[in-house]
Chains A and B, each alone.
Chain A
């Protein structure tokens, strides 16, 4: 997120797209509700009716996978109505001509043809957003989990820059990260192309710095993403995988294929709290301690780094993940893994990671709230980014054209499936489904479908259905509701026994390598 969570409350307009905010990020959802009570206008662009859309001033229901089109449309209106922030464009950005040329043809009428959003609503939304004194864009996986994910994200950035809604409090482009430490896992180099702090592995200087610090030679070629690893496990090029606290066999797209691939590994190690679906096929399973049994830090979606404290001793013989890695490194005679505590690890992080340079456990205690970049011990942290300048200097506009999603519907698979989260469960459910209270709210998978589509397949009485795609099929309950657009169905992905990801398409964005979870073609039949 470019801005911090409390800032939402003072926004004058919040544009939410691809985020079921009050369910997936409840404390951000309620902040936005408060902003609305203080006079902000809220626009939701989502094919489903959600709590946020019910409260919104405007709800635009786009056809899934048409985000570049409507975003371009919004910008087309802003430019043609003279609502662009010319001063900001002149002083802080470059490439405006590219954008202008690219969006020109996206008139509201043309966008209506592609996205199904009524032209008039699009105009209204554009004005609402552009005329607000402080406008904030909020998005989540509904924007990124597409083959055009990067294009979607760049389009959001285009829109914010076009109206000068960057670098000030309560504005910005705010991707909401789903899991409690996705932000941190990215920040700390859990990515194939960068060291901690987004320092490129291909940059010789950076590589040298880490080689010095870690006293060993380091590879300088970008590695494989999870999607590629799983793919190459199938072909035998990847022989072993070490999985810490992840459950790719429920979370990955097209999991039937993923399971076959991972079964092909010579050696699979899984380190987890429970015997997850992935652990079930492992060769060695290592029992990890939970968040309640260890210390360390998590980084929230707004780059806020916070301390975790142990409440109890590790359950059974389980050990905190950091200890396990250390023991393993020792077994392999590797130097540089003899930390006495996570506190010491943070000191090494701070020394090598400029954006975390000012953090230490000591400084983070006493409820001290700090957002990275925090460059040194006396740096106050950065609640909102890009004040005065962008990290690359000038902000770059990208002229982007709409492209169709990878998979389209046909006679056999006439409906579009989109997946997501619900309030009462979390990710692959390994934790939340073991909570009695959460499970009693929702205990089984379901598919949401519009009454018209339900009628088409003659659904009545007993509402069990089979949903199939070109990759797999699952059986689950149907919830017939007009919360969803006709032609589109929704399945929460938390349930391993009726895993939405048995259906999803693993076709991915060429740059971000994010699979297209949000659009695939399916058929629903009554069973």
Chain B
């Protein structure tokens, strides 16, 4: 698969201004912008980084450029959410979609391990899509807990938080310049452990219609807090309530930007 992607990228670089992908050098591996003439044999697929954010940054800086990106399923979902929020211009983006392996899908509890390329004007898929993996068993376990147990669980987890903001900074769909987590009105600055539960609830609320289940916040969390258990639960509720699944559908706008009248609220559930 890797060779196929490298070849495709080389080919496309002739027409594009650059392709965002991971590069491995003797320093380590990180995202880079490959350009024509660059050594694509340095292009690799692991580990994961939030490339949607990189694409957004570069599109904003280079307003006429057309870039490509090597993207997994979660990356394309993030790209979709960013397009809806006007952080990415789909017409200036080409996507090399890569299908994740079964093993990768299981590690991420990923329901959609292959990128959905239908919404994109220009895209290719490399690799064979595998079926979705089963959900994180912690979510079901959690649902069996009583209200008090839930509170204790999160209290204990969030006491480990060192307020690095890494969960936000790594998140491929967090982009605001002014972040509520840094607003003294909501969260008292300079406190360690950060305000419980405000800090984490605000973050969670903001993820309800955005979290694309890439799990990168958990990788970035030094304290090992199972953040996506919380986000999975909330996404599930939102999905049940208004049928919105972040990253799944390019055509439906972000629900909170719709008026109630045109929101796809399932009237039965809303009661």
Contacts and interface: CB of A to CB of B under 8 A. Distances in A.
Interface of A: 22-23, 26-27, 29-30, 33-34, 37, 51, 54-55, 307, 309, 365-367, 422-424, 437, 440-442
A96 B203 CA distance: 55
Given A30-B223, A55-B160, 5 more contacts: A33-B223, A51-B162, A55-B159, A307-B27, A366-B26
A441 B189 contact: yes
Contacts of B165: 437
Nearest to A36: B160
A424 B222 CA distance: 16
Contacts of B193: 51, 54
Contact of B159 (A51, A307, A441): A51
Contacts of B92: none
A51 B224 contact: no
A442 B223 CA distance: 22
Interface string B16-28: 0000000000111
Contacts of A367: 27-28
- In this complex, the member of B159, B182, B190 whose beta carbon has the largest number of chain A beta carbons within 10 angstroms is B190
B222 A26 contact: yes
Contacts of B162: 22-23, 26, 29-30, 51, 423
B190 A54 contact: no
B201 interface: no
Interface of B: 26-28, 159-160, 162-165, 182, 189-190, 192-193, 222-224
Given A51-B193, A54-B159, A440 B27 contact: no
Contacts of B27: 307, 309, 365, 367
Contacts of A22: 162, 192
A-B pairs, 9 with minimum CB distance: A442-B190, A30-B222, A365-B26, A441-B190, A366-B26, A441-B189, A33-B160, A30-B223, A423-B192
A9 to B, nearest CB: 10
A29 B222 CA distance: 9
Nearest to A425: B190
10 contacts: A26-B164, A30-B222, A30-B224, A34-B224, A51-B192, A54-B193, A365-B26, A424-B190, A437-B165, A442-B189
Contacts of A55: 159-160
Nearest to B221: A30
A424 B194 CA distance: 12
Contacts of B189: 440-442
B220 to A, nearest CB: 12
A307 to B, nearest CB: 7
Contacts of B192: 22-23, 51, 422-423
Nearest to A30: B222
Contacts of B190: 422, 424, 441-442
A309 B28 CA distance: 11
Contacts of A309: 27
A30 B182 contact: no
Contacts of A307: 27
Contacts of A437: 165, 182
A54 B189 CA distance: 20
Contacts of A422: 190, 192
A178 B82 CA distance: 40
B159 A440 contact: no
B26 A30 contact: no
A85 B159 CA distance: 35
B62 to A, nearest CB: 19
Given A51-B193, A442-B189, A30 B28 contact: no
B28 A33 contact: no
Contacts of A366: 26
Contacts of B182: 437, 440
A373 B54 CA distance: 40
B160 A423 contact: no
Contact of B224 (A37, A424, A440): A37
Contacts of A54: 159, 193
Contacts of A26: 162, 164, 222
Nearest to A27: B222
A135 B162 CA distance: 24
Contacts of A34: 224
Nearest to B189: A441
Nearest to B224: A34
Nearest to A368: B26
A367 to B, nearest CB: 6
A33 B164 CA distance: 15
Contacts of A33: 160, 223-224
A307 B25 CA distance: 13
A307 B27 CA distance: 8
Nearest to B161: A51
Nearest to A307: B27
Nearest to A37: B224
Nearest to A20: B192
Nearest to A31: B222
Contact of A423 (B26, B28, B163, B223): B163
A254 to B, nearest CB: 27
A366 B28 CA distance: 6
Nearest to B183: A440
A30 B160 contact: yes
- Which of B27, B159, B162 has the most A CB atoms < 10 Å from its CB? B162
B221 to A, nearest CB: 9
